[in-house]
Structure 1
Amino acid sequence: MKRSLLFFALVMASYGAVQAQVTTSSMTGIVTQTSGSTTQGATIKAIHVPSGTVYSGSANAAGRFNLANMRVGGPYKIEVTYVGQQPVTYDDIYLQLGQPFVLNPVFGENATTLQEVTVTGQVRRTQKTGASTSIGQKQLQELPQVERSITEFMRLTPQANGNSFAGRDARYNNLQIDGANFNNGFGLSGGPIPGGNSQPISLDAIEAISVNIAPFDVTQSGFTGAGINAVTKSGTNKITGTAYYFLQNQSLQGRKIDDITLDKVDAAKKNFGFSLGGPIIKDKLFLFVNAEREEATGGMLLEQIYGKLLKTE
């Protein structure tokens, strides 16, 4: 009886650890010959060019390989080698958060028996694991935004209605940043991020975002709306930095509702900050810091709106 109770307690204690922490990407595929036979023992090496980080592995008896826990983004340089074969190389490969990149290299005939070797390969960009949307660095930098919040990019998902997904209340989502929960646990509003209108992490520090509606991966759990995963940036071998300033004032606020014109109220919202990244030890240890400050003054009072509407009645 005591053993049964102990086992039950251990199962319940490990329940919270079942939820996956989606912070990396991966690469998978099958190495074959032009004849169609698989290539057992081929070596696959992936180099993250900006940081010099190397991921390597070998193909098993079925020619299949899997490189796990890879850094999001890129570019990557991929080199596939095998004894007696010309290496197969790929450049400018980019990985998306939580989505395996499928690469199927194909070797030509043995290089020692031919005058000319033709190397071909098959590349499939990503392997979908259910209804999901991936937002990379290019979209984060180029798409317009008003609040500089992760929630603005979550709406790129076709199933999104504001912060609600697939008809579920926003409080049924699960938001993780670098594997840590950032949910609105108190639940007084429909916003998925704690802190009201303030952002706990600057958008300038976000590397990639993924929104999963119905993942095939059973380890992704803890939500019935959407699982939102984001990862922050890391330094590279190149020293980089940003400095920014954003301003919204009363000139960007609407003041007319039908025939009612509201009084102009001085209001402003200012965001300013910086980020800095670079190497501490080249190819091994990196630094990335970000700081942002938000200031808001004034605002359009609801009492003014209600007052104007009551006068018209």
Structure 2
Amino acid sequence: MLKKFGLRAVMVLIGVGVFAAVSAQVSTVGTISGTVRDPKGAAVPKAEVVIQQEGTGVSRTVNADDNGFYLATSLPFGRYTISTAPRGFKKTVAEAVDLHVAENKVVNLDLQVGQVSETVTVSSDAAPVETRSGEISSLISEKQVTELPLNGRNYAQLALMVPGVSPVTQAGAGGAFGTNGTGLDSHVDMSVNGNQSNANMWTVDGVNNMDVGSNATLLIFPSIDSIQEFRVERNSFSAEYGQAQGAVINLITKGGSNQFHGAAFEFLRRDKLNATDFFLNRAGQPKSQLKYNNYGFNFSGPIKKNRIFFFWNEEWRREQRGVVLSSKVPTAAERVGDFSGALTDSLPHDPFTGLPFPGNKIPQANLSPAGLAILQMFPLPNTTGSTNWVSSLLEPIKTRQDSIRGDINITSKMNLLVKYTNETWTHGSAAGNFWGDSPFPTLA
């Protein structure tokens, strides 16, 4: 018997960001601020500061206040170049300023006296102390997501690197984190600062990604190759992050840029080099099969430079994995009512007298034709002992994830994010022990 479980999850996100006044329910953007100062450290008021995203070429211009302080809010994540050129000073440029999700970046611009035609390049402060809020969070970067080993390509496992995060071991493949990496039988059971595992909120591009039915797994497990980064907000986060007593795991997917990029991958495994399971070998059964193929590609670039960008990601997984099961099944003698050799205290009794049948043998006239037909569904014993049957049954898993993201820069102060993700998942479960379903037809 092979039970099938299927899931189709669709996530559609349309977001409009009006940078000057509107912020999303969950922050997917960041802030760059700082002070423009002359060589003596005095503030330079009303200086014009240009902030340009290197990948897309989109720029924002802000003016410093009377104290030389400038602020640019609701900036998309990415690498920026910040420049200013007040009259009487050399042009000052801060290059390669990386802005991450929900980050408040401080970049001070120290000017030098000279001609505007001259340029001074400065570097931003490395990991400055957060002074604008008491929020405690940790960033998992793109490099960590793509290069650290993950069992089943489940990105959620990386959250265990964050202080205060610990796994909550529960039933299921992979313990606290499912190794399937997708579907409802993959899970994210982790405790943050001692809170319950279902007290966390997981988001993708600002949208709630929790399965509201179980509150224990995610609707979408984004493909590893489509993840830009994610941040674990674990204490003192602002009111925009509701619903979470434990932590907010805020994931941002990749977007396109002015350059075309593409990549393809495949991971495959076979059972040729695997050892045979001890119990299968003793029962003379062949070793478990394993055919694992996980492959996909992504492609991104501009539709219109400096204006419209796309990122397209596809991923498939085809898996045939043998699962070793052992149990007790009726012997050939028991199938015709002969329980004289049964190794159990639970022997058949005459329903009319309540007494055991003579010799523990049920008369042929008392056997039910329907019961005999049902017995044909049970496999025959293939080993000795009270657990007299062992075998490897195939559990086929098929998944496909389609993900398309579009970014449109309407003006320097407004952009449009459109995101579509469709994930289909089928898992043929031989054991059938999925959220309370009846097990494979054997005897307890």
Match of 2:317 in 1: 294
Greater RCO structure (CA 8 Å; 6+ sep)? 2
1:34 Cα deviation from its structure 2 partner: 2.5
Separation in 1 of the partners of 2:384 and 2:197? 33
Separation in 1 of the partners of 2:72 and 2:23? 22
Q: 1:88 aligns with which of 74, 87, 92?
A: 92
Change (3 A) 1:54 1:273: same
Q: 2:114 aligns with which of 87, 111, 115?
A: 111
Match of 2:202 in 1: 175
Match of 1:247 in 2: 268
Structure 1 window deviating more from structure 2 (146-155 vs 272-281): it is 146-155
Contact 1:72 1:208 (8 Å CA) reproduced: no
Q: TM-score of the superposition, structure 2-length normalised?
A: 0.57
Separation in 2 of the partners of 1:229 and 1:308? 54
Q: 2:33 aligns with which of 28, 35, 49?
A: 28
Separation in 1 of the partners of 2:161 and 2:273? 24
Contact 1:133 1:156 (8 Å CA) reproduced: no
Contact 2:25 2:240 (8 Å CA) reproduced: yes
What pairs with 1:100-179 in structure 2 (closer than 5 Å)? Answer: 100-108=104-112, 110-111=113-114, 123-128=125-130, 129=133, 130-162=135-167, 163-179=190-206
1:71 Cα deviation from its structure 2 partner: 2.1
SS at 1:139 equivalent:
helix
2:238 is the counterpart of 1:217: yes
Which deviations, in whole Å up to 9, do the C-alpha atoms of 1:140-162 show, x marking residues without a partner?
Answer: 22212122122122222121112
Match of 1:278 in 2: 301
1:252 Cα deviation from its structure 2 partner: 8.6
Match of 2:71 in 1: 66
1:302 Cα deviation from its structure 2 partner: 5.0
1:85 Cα deviation from its structure 2 partner: 1.0
Which deviations, in whole Å up to 9, do the C-alpha atoms of 1:192-226 show, x marking residues without a partner?
Answer: x13xxxx5421211111111101342322220111
Separation in 2 of the partners of 1:309 and 1:210? 53
Q: TM-score of the superposition, structure 1-length normalised?
A: 0.78
1:123 Cα deviation from its structure 2 partner: 2.3
Which deviations, in whole Å up to 9, do the C-alpha atoms of 1:125-153 show, x marking residues without a partner?
Answer: 35535221111222222212122122122
What pairs with 1:174-213 in structure 2 (closer than 5 Å)? Answer: 174-187=201-214, 190-191=216-217, 193-194=218-219, 199-213=220-234
Match of 1:8 in 2: none
Separation in 1 of the partners of 2:311 and 2:124? 36
Unaligned runs of 5+ residues in structure 2 are 1-21, 168-189, 282-286, 328-382, 389-444
Change (3 A) 1:166 1:68: same
Match of 2:255 in 1: 234
Match of 1:7 in 2: none
1:250 Cα deviation from its structure 2 partner: 4.5
Change (3 A) 1:244 1:62: same
Q: Percent identity?
A: 23
Q: 2:48 aligns with which of 37, 43, 51?
A: 43
Contact 2:93 2:121 (8 Å CA) reproduced: no
What CA RMSD, in Å, does the superposition of the two structures yield over aligned residues?
A: 3.2
Runs of 4+ in 1 over 6 A off after TM superposition: 116-122, 251-256, 307-310
Separation in 1 of the partners of 2:81 and 2:237? 29
1:169 Cα deviation from its structure 2 partner: 2.3
Unaligned runs of 5+ residues in structure 1 are 1-16
